[in-house]
Amino acid sequence: MSKSIQGKKVAILSTDGFEQSELLEPRKALLAAGAEVKIVGLKAGKIKGWKEKNWGEEVDVDLVASEAKSEDFDAIVLPGGVINPDKLRSDKDAVAFLQGFVDAGKPIAAICHGPQTLIETGALRGRKMTSYKSLKTDLKNAGAEWVDEEVVTDRGLVTSRTPEDLPAFNKKMIEEIAEGVHNRARSSARPAADEGALHA
């Protein structure tokens, strides 16, 4: 049985093109464990998922990133999808919102292409993690130790590779949220992000 995270507030940061199962299944698991879940998007309205080779279900946005505050949440989830993370990492409000979780050492769970957005925060240097295999070089260039494993946890950062890893991802995500803030994960992180520009 999963640990209870009753009353914990969790943000799912996403936009159009999210991998459908990677948003819907973690949200379902979080709600079942007692969390309050809010979808944070780039604009008000709905965001559209991607399923296999076509657009999928639409999901209501609860908050826009420009108005959302990381201090109002206990943890954040980053679904994958090829389109979704690329849009998020290019949006200053989305990156600033995510940066708040990084700086406070709050749990962060990212799956598949989801970790791509984290590159913009400088949070990956020295972190052991995984992702969809095509991101391996990008994440290593950002300072991460990339491994090919079902689920990896390092100082409150939970990562997985593909939708097939969702059961393990959801379980570990809930465990980390139940554990709470990781003081060792607190990070100014900016120098690492700036250093990445040297390799551009």
Number of independent structural domains in the chain: 1
Q: Which CATH number covers residue 146?
A: 3.40.50.880
Is residue 71 in a domain?
Answer: yes
Q: Is residue 2, in this structure, part of any structural domain at all? A: no
Residue 157 lies in a domain: yes
Contact 188, 179 (CB under 8 A): no
Higher local confidence (pLDDT), 43 or 195? 43
Does residue 69 sit within a domain?
yes
> Which among 102, 112, 157, 185 is annotated as catalytic?
112
User: pLDDT higher for 192 or 62?
Assistant: 62
Predicted local confidence at residue 52, as pLDDT: 85
Print the domain residue range for 157.
9-199
The pLDDT assigned to 1 comes to 41
Q: How sure is the predictor about 4, in pLDDT bands with cuts at 50, 70 and 90?
A: confident
Can 194 be counted among the known catalytic residues? Answer: no
Per-residue pLDDT at 117 exceeds 70: yes
- Structural domain includes residue 126: yes
pTM over 0.75: yes
Structural domain contains residue 1: no
